[in-house]
Structure 1
Amino acid sequence: MAGIQLAEVFGTIFYTFLGFGLLVICWLVIERITPFSLRREIEEDHNIAIAVMMAALFLSLSIIIAAVILS
């Protein structure tokens, strides 16, 4: 860990968990406001369209969360 300060490591770990927590909260909110179970649609019914939509949504949320954390 030459040249890396301990505060930077802790900051990275903290912001990683913060971003992951925000993504989990977003998943729970989306799951709650949709009239059907997203988990059932993706896992049991193999609805590829919803899976692709959720993947795109999480990628865009990840970019937004990273931009907010880094600014």
Structure 2
Amino acid sequence: MDDLLNHLVAAAVYAALGILLFVLAFFLVDRMTPGTLWKEIIEEHNTALAVIVGAMSIGVSIIIAAAIW
């Protein structure tokens, strides 16, 4: 039972670390792009920018998952 608790705590820590790294990467990309990402995507309906942000999200998520694995 104690081993299960250790594994659950480790999984929660790695999940929190992965989410934090993803958020930091997203804000970094937001700061590097000209303008405001959400304004361009939501108000201006910039589909190309939405695809770029989605691809970045998938790419960063794969890298974080591989690093944590």
Alignment correspondent of 2:8: 9
Aligned twin of 1:52: 51
Identical-pair percentage: 38
- Taking structure 2 as the reference length, the TM-score comes to 0.88
5+ residue gaps, structure 2, are none
Matched length: 68
**Structure 1 residue ranges, 4+ long, deviating more than 4 angstroms after superposition:** none
Greater fraction helix: 2
Q: CA RMSD in A?
A: 1.5
Q: Extract unaligned runs of 5+ from structure 1.
A: none
Per the alignment, residue 62 of structure 1 pairs with 61
After TM superposition, the score normalised by the length of structure 1 is 0.86
Q: How far did 1:8 drift?
A: 1.0
Corresponding residue for residue 20 of structure 1: 19
Aligned AA (1:46):
H
